[in-house]
Homo-oligomer: A and B are copies of this chain.
Amino acid sequence: MTERYLEDFAVGQQFSSGRVCIDAERIKSFAAEFDPQPFHLDEGACSHSIFGGLAASGWHTAAITMKLLVDSDFKPAWGIVGAGFEELSWPRPVRPGDELRVESEVLETSVSKSSPERGILKVKSTTLNQHNEPVQVFVANLFVPCRPASSTKHHD
């Protein structure tokens, strides 16, 4: 898979990831290290919580989403490097046994005025479960390099 420069992305372009299954044990071990709250740690303790049962930490879902993106054919030339997020939300819980995938869409591309060798790619990524329900949505601004002059000259 070729790496993409800013010029290789276009508004409306879409990218799909592979799929990954979510395991109860990894939900609990991730939470034990990073987000030790009852609804992420213990099926029994959390039936009356706001989640109504064991749910993955949102940061676990975010990290799994990143893995799916890195493994997809999205491939900006510098890697997936976030300048910042305008939005990040978890509309519904991720449960043990869920199968997640990511759908991404390019919202905007713009060359940097101060650093014309790079630009910003604005992309919306939606993480969906096996029922096609969104479990995470973000809008990210990524640093992406412009195609080097030598690279375009090469094709003259």
Q: Show the binding face of A for B, using Cβ within 8 Å.
A: 30, 33-39, 49-51, 57-60, 62-64, 66-67, 70, 78-90, 143
Contacts and interface: CB of A to CB of B under 8 A. Distances in A.
B50 A143 contact: yes
A122 to B, nearest CB: 14
A82 B30 CA distance: 17
Main secondary structure of the interface of A (DSSP, over half): mixed
**Top 5 closest A-B pairs, CB basis?**
A84-B89, A34-B63, A85-B88, A37-B79, A59-B63
Contacts of A81: 50-51
Contacts of A38: 79
Contact of A80 (B37, B64, B84, B143): B37
B90 A82 contact: yes
A35 B89 contact: no
Contact of A33 (B67, B79, B80): B67
Contacts of A66: 34-35, 57, 59
